[in-house]
Structure 1
Amino acid sequence: MSPFESSNIDFKSLKKVVGPKSDLKSLSETCVSFANAQGGLIVVGVEDGKLEPPVDQKIEQDVVNKTISRLRDLTDSVGIVNPEIITHENGGQYFKFIIHPSTRTIATTSTGKVFVRVTDNCVPVSGEELTNLAAEKSAFQWELVSIGKVKLKDADINQVTYFVEQIQNSKFVSDFIKEKSNEEILEFYQLINQEGFLTNLGVIWLGKANQRARLSYPLTVQYIVYNDFEEKIRKKDWHFHLHNPKELLIEIEKEAVELNYTTEISSGLFRKQIRNYPKEVIRELLINAIAHKRYTISGDIFIEVYPNRMVITNPGGLPLGITANNILHERHRRNPHLIQTLHDLGLMEGEGSGYDLIYEKLVREIKPLPVIESSINKTSVTVYSGVVDKEAFEILEYISQHFKLSQKEYIVLGLVASDKKILSTQLSLKLQLTTEDRLRSWMGSLLEKSILTSRGIKKGTEYLLNPTLFSQSRLNIAPTLKTIDKEQLKHLIIEYLKYNGERSKQDIHKHIKDVELNDIQKCLYVLVEEGILLPLGGRKNRTYKLAKKK
């Protein structure tokens, strides 16, 4: 038993249901949150983070019966089933029960409150989010429904054989699954139901073209290329339902030649070809579009390629609880069985959305982070081909050859190298982090290895590349004033005004171009406070000059 809570399991202390501190009301909210997502398991009698119940803990059947009865009274449209007392090998006892997902109605508490499970949290839902939840209800269960009543014997036998062979040869699948019969494997992956009919998911993977076409909203894709004037110059579509998801992915990658274009950059005596879009980024975004598409609404997946960017759009907004500002960390699935199948076939990560990989591959080539836009009907992701910052790229190449870093460390390093210096608050924002502690875990050993240096304290902390390291590397990197120390910047401003007389901050910025205007303004404030400079004029037209020495 895993000691950690997740999107489909929750641990509760026995004190939650018995004794003076019992709180069945909050437990009922957890039940509602599971029912409005994909169901789950509640374990009572094991503390969160523990592997086992207390040694001397005993559970009376009457406690279980009263708990289940009371939870049913406190909830509406929540299926609470299979309560069972378990005796752990240490002698202690706990009990567990299953929450079924509510397939057609929104589950609520008896007081009318609505909650949904997002990762390991019970999140309240209200207002506009209720509309999204109602739309998600059918999406949650779409995979398991069998509308066409297609028998397994009527499916494409070649697809059935090929699918089973891939599962049996996959390094991501346990021997326990591989040793099952063909039908048991298909049932395990929810491709057939207990009556032997193909589910909607089964039709997508194993069906014939005419069977896939009879799905309400089958998997269809359009690939469109535009010129500089945003005029269509090439189009390819997949509307004939000839491929399962894996075959379709391979066909798209083969057809989308524009996504394989490269840019040449010089690196010393050599020239290096850099892809406009890293191959791994294309694969992850295509898989995400297929895996998280809402199959209960009409619409194609669109892949639009412009001279400077690629936009992938799929029907349906982001899953409930996921936003553009937390997608790097949240783990919530719309089509969990499809995602599990794609993972076991080696096509995508089992957890999350793969955005950590997307971030890593983009920042390692000093490309902009993806731009994500989502509404109730669609989600689009824009990736820019960008112009590689040659110097920053060489820095990351040098570091990759001399240091072994984690994925998180590479992401942080790429963001710092791209900006030359960055405030901790700005870095946290780009990494979608909420606390300083979490930022430290992403920084890893970058400071200890002297790859990065820091200056300032708390929210004023800045991170920048360590100039000493790169002076030793013999890289041909031009110096920049962007990372200049504040005392050195103050000296430059004083020297400029000494020889040029009264000047505005804009004049100073033109002279010291690499330094951000905001940093110049801060230095001017300090110099005025120290009595070194005199401000003249109003705020809009303010100028500065050296104060006369007394």
Structure 2
Amino acid sequence: MFETVSISMEKATQLLEQQEGHFLDFKDKRIAPAKITRAASAFCNADGGDLYIGVTENPHGFSWDGFSDPEDANQLIAALEAVSPFGTDIDGEFLFCSELAGYVLHVNARKSRFIRKSSDGKVYKRLSAQNSPVVSDEALIALRRQKGIESFESETMAIDAEVVTNSEAIIEYLLSAVPVSEPDTYLRKQHLLVSGKPVVAATLLFADEPQACLPKRCGIKIYRYSSEEQARDRLVEDPVTIEGSLYRQVYAAVDRTVKMVESAAYLDDEGLRKVSYPHETLHEIITNAVLHRDYSVTDDIHIRIFENRIEIQSPGRLPGHITVSNILDERLSRNPYLVRHLNRFPDPPNKDVGEGLNTAFDSMKKLNLRSPVIEETANSVMVSIRHESLASPAQQVFDFLSVNGSIKNEQARKLTGIGSESKMKKIFENLIAAGEIEHMPGTAGRGYAYRLVIKER
């Protein structure tokens, strides 16, 4: 059923030298099927990982001790199939090394959009190198939210209905989106008003001051720093707080960020310089953060403006099966009520539903800037928009010198985004060795500069 892959002794040794951790687990071939399902459940319910069956642990580390025949693993394979059908969240292959004994079953488990249970009906989650049971009701609810099976946005709130039925936000919305409906009637039909109480999504969309109902969960903080590092003493001004209904927040946050970037000027050898970013990139990434953050997490969205980049940090991990590597191709909305209704506003911020990040990336490429970098931390998602050219550092230096007479190390580091003086010097040395540039005569010390080599035709 599974492909057999032959690997070299070198590759096998490299595998056995690895340490078990959040994404890697070694298991003895004699392990009970029930125990192997715990490992599969744990990986699928967390961030995925690699499971190797046929590896034993000894005082000196791990050693290869595979199955004599692949069919000897049938019982374990059947148990794994019961956790998640092969091809859905997990795939398998047998590894064979001619210099070692037997076949090792390699199982690749991916982050699942569903909650996967072990054979005893229990739920496990991978935490560091442990397969930890998810036992409490609170932990199970949190896992269901992480998977996108449930959403905090649909929970009812203990606030008066008039907060959302008699607000400026709902009146403006209905006048443009649904001009024939009364607020309470519309909200009930849309399941945004349940048993006379607003759900979280209704509060975020239609309360004039949702921050009063959900303190520290639905605001946006904007910071500007006078350097490339985050430090309190480098703050140019007090952080700006953006509040109000989500529709107003998005446009206010984008507008304020653009203005703060435009007002920022950084001093280098050429004098004051300004850095700009595509408006579409800022708009789409901020909109994405507002739409898809986890509103059950007590934290605001943070936008940090540095000399060479902008960071947008959104509370909560990526939902369901979404990962950093597939986020541009896969679709899963943590907050479908928010996505749907925000799209009904006049001039909706999420015009092309599901395409926002792709638009952000395309806008950077059009200006020959590097694509944003998406990272997932323990409790948030960070998108970094760096002001760096798509061209290699060497090409950037060459292009600069094609227009300008000379360039110094510090100038080149500002141009390329390289922070290390020695790394930049190495690039200059490579360009000199290639016969493209040379030392600028008459320059030395801090003024040491380079110029293009004038080539004879």
Structure 1 length normalisation: TM-score?
0.43
CA 1:153–1:302 in structure 2 vs 1: closer, same or farther (change >3 Å)?
closer
CA 1:312–1:357 in structure 2 vs 1: closer, same or farther (change >3 Å)?
same
User: Paired residue for 2:434, among 512, 520, 535?
Assistant: 512
Q: How do 1:289-328 residues align onto structure 2 when only pairs under 5 Å count? A: 289-328=289-328
Flag structure 2 segments of 5+ consecutive residues without an equivalent. Answer: 1-40, 46-81, 84-113, 266-272, 394-400, 403-427, 437-457
Distance across 2 between alignment mates of 1:186 and 1:107: 35
Distance across 2 between alignment mates of 1:208 and 1:299: 19
Aligned partner of 2:238 in structure 1 is 235
Q: Quick check: 1:135 aligned with 2:133? A: no
Aligned partner of 1:196 in structure 2 is 196
Aligned partner of 1:338 in structure 2 is 338
**Residue identity in the other structure for 1:191:** L
**Residue identity in the other structure for 2:250:** L
- Provide the identity percentage: 20
Deviations 1:289-315 (A, max 9, x none): 111211111112111101111011121
Q: Secondary structure at the match of 1:205?
A: helix
**Residue identity in the other structure for 1:347:** P
Q: Secondary structure at the match of 2:312?
A: strand
Q: Quick check: 1:151 aligned with 2:161? A: yes
Aligned partner of 2:220 in structure 1 is 221
**Residue identity in the other structure for 2:434:** I
Aligned partner of 2:247 in structure 1 is 246
Deviation at 1:198, TM superposition (A): 1.2
Q: Secondary structure at the match of 2:197?
A: coil
**Contact 1:136/1:320, CA 8 A, preserved across alignment:** no
Aligned partner of 1:377 in structure 2 is 379
**Residue identity in the other structure for 1:220:** G
Q: Secondary structure at the match of 2:359?
A: helix
CA 1:159–1:375 in structure 2 vs 1: closer, same or farther (change >3 Å)?
same
Report the number of matched residues: 276
Distance across 2 between alignment mates of 1:153 and 1:508: 65
Q: Secondary structure at the match of 1:233?
A: coil
Deviation at 1:326, TM superposition (A): 1.5
**Residue identity in the other structure for 2:318:** L
Aligned partner of 1:358 in structure 2 is 360
**Contact 2:205/2:338, CA 8 A, preserved across alignment:** no
Distance across 1 between alignment mates of 2:379 and 2:330: 20
**Contact 1:216/1:296, CA 8 A, preserved across alignment:** no
Distance across 1 between alignment mates of 2:317 and 2:360: 19
Q: How do 1:418-433 residues align onto structure 2 when only pairs under 5 Å count? A: 418=391
**Contact 1:340/1:350, CA 8 A, preserved across alignment:** no
Higher relative contact order (Cα pairs below 8 Å, separated by 6+ residues): 2
Q: Secondary structure at the match of 1:235?
A: coil
Deviation at 1:199, TM superposition (A): 1.0
Distance across 1 between alignment mates of 2:376 and 2:208: 33
**Contact 1:261/1:275, CA 8 A, preserved across alignment:** no
Aligned partner of 2:5 in structure 1 is none
**Residue identity in the other structure for 1:279:** H
Deviation at 1:147, TM superposition (A): 2.3
Distance across 1 between alignment mates of 2:208 and 2:180: 27
CA 1:111–1:352 in structure 2 vs 1: closer, same or farther (change >3 Å)?
farther
**Residue identity in the other structure for 2:371:** L
Deviation at 1:127, TM superposition (A): 2.0
Distance across 2 between alignment mates of 1:157 and 1:262: 37
Q: Secondary structure at the match of 1:344?
A: coil
CA 1:357–1:181 in structure 2 vs 1: closer, same or farther (change >3 Å)?
same
Aligned partner of 1:162 in structure 2 is 172
**Contact 1:149/1:197, CA 8 A, preserved across alignment:** yes
Q: How do 1:39-188 residues align onto structure 2 when only pairs under 5 Å count? A: 108=117, 111-112=120-121, 126-128=125-127, 135-138=142-145, 140-152=150-162, 155-168=165-178, 182-188=183-189
Distance across 2 between alignment mates of 1:111 and 1:513: 69
CA 1:189–1:136 in structure 2 vs 1: closer, same or farther (change >3 Å)?
farther
Deviation at 1:317, TM superposition (A): 1.6
Deviation at 1:244, TM superposition (A): 0.3
Distance across 2 between alignment mates of 1:253 and 1:166: 23
**Contact 1:192/1:202, CA 8 A, preserved across alignment:** yes
Distance across 1 between alignment mates of 2:392 and 2:140: 39
**Contact 1:223/1:304, CA 8 A, preserved across alignment:** yes
Distance across 2 between alignment mates of 1:334 and 1:356: 18
**Contact 1:144/1:199, CA 8 A, preserved across alignment:** yes
Q: Secondary structure at the match of 1:318?
A: coil
Distance across 1 between alignment mates of 2:145 and 2:160: 21
Distance across 1 between alignment mates of 2:311 and 2:140: 26
**Contact 2:294/2:315, CA 8 A, preserved across alignment:** yes
Deviation at 1:236, TM superposition (A): 3.3
Deviation at 1:228, TM superposition (A): 2.5
Distance across 2 between alignment mates of 1:507 and 1:315: 44
**Contact 2:314/2:380, CA 8 A, preserved across alignment:** yes
CA 1:188–1:331 in structure 2 vs 1: closer, same or farther (change >3 Å)?
farther
Distance across 2 between alignment mates of 1:511 and 1:220: 53
Q: How do 1:396-415 residues align onto structure 2 when only pairs under 5 Å count? A: none
Q: How do 1:458-537 residues align onto structure 2 when only pairs under 5 Å count? A: 510-512=432-434
Deviations 1:339-359 (A, max 9, x none): 122223321155436221111
Deviation at 1:221, TM superposition (A): 1.6
Distance across 2 between alignment mates of 1:107 and 1:197: 33
**Residue identity in the other structure for 2:226:** N
Deviation at 1:253, TM superposition (A): 2.9
Distance across 2 between alignment mates of 1:161 and 1:221: 24
CA 1:330–1:157 in structure 2 vs 1: closer, same or farther (change >3 Å)?
same
Deviation at 1:227, TM superposition (A): 0.6
CA 1:189–1:303 in structure 2 vs 1: closer, same or farther (change >3 Å)?
farther
Distance across 2 between alignment mates of 1:286 and 1:508: 40
Deviation at 1:385, TM superposition (A): 2.2
Deviation at 1:511, TM superposition (A): 3.8
Aligned partner of 2:414 in structure 1 is none
**Residue identity in the other structure for 2:219:** T
**Contact 1:261/1:276, CA 8 A, preserved across alignment:** no
**How large is the RMSD of aligned CA atoms in angstroms?**
4.3
Distance across 1 between alignment mates of 2:435 and 2:120: 62
Flag structure 1 segments of 5+ consecutive residues without an equivalent. Answer: 1-31, 37-73, 76-104, 115-124, 169-177, 264-272, 389-414, 421-476, 479-505, 515-550
Distance across 2 between alignment mates of 1:371 and 1:151: 41
Q: Secondary structure at the match of 2:121?
A: coil
Q: Secondary structure at the match of 1:356?
A: helix
Deviation at 1:262, TM superposition (A): 9.6
Distance across 2 between alignment mates of 1:212 and 1:310: 25
Greater Rg, structure 1 or structure 2?
Answer: 1
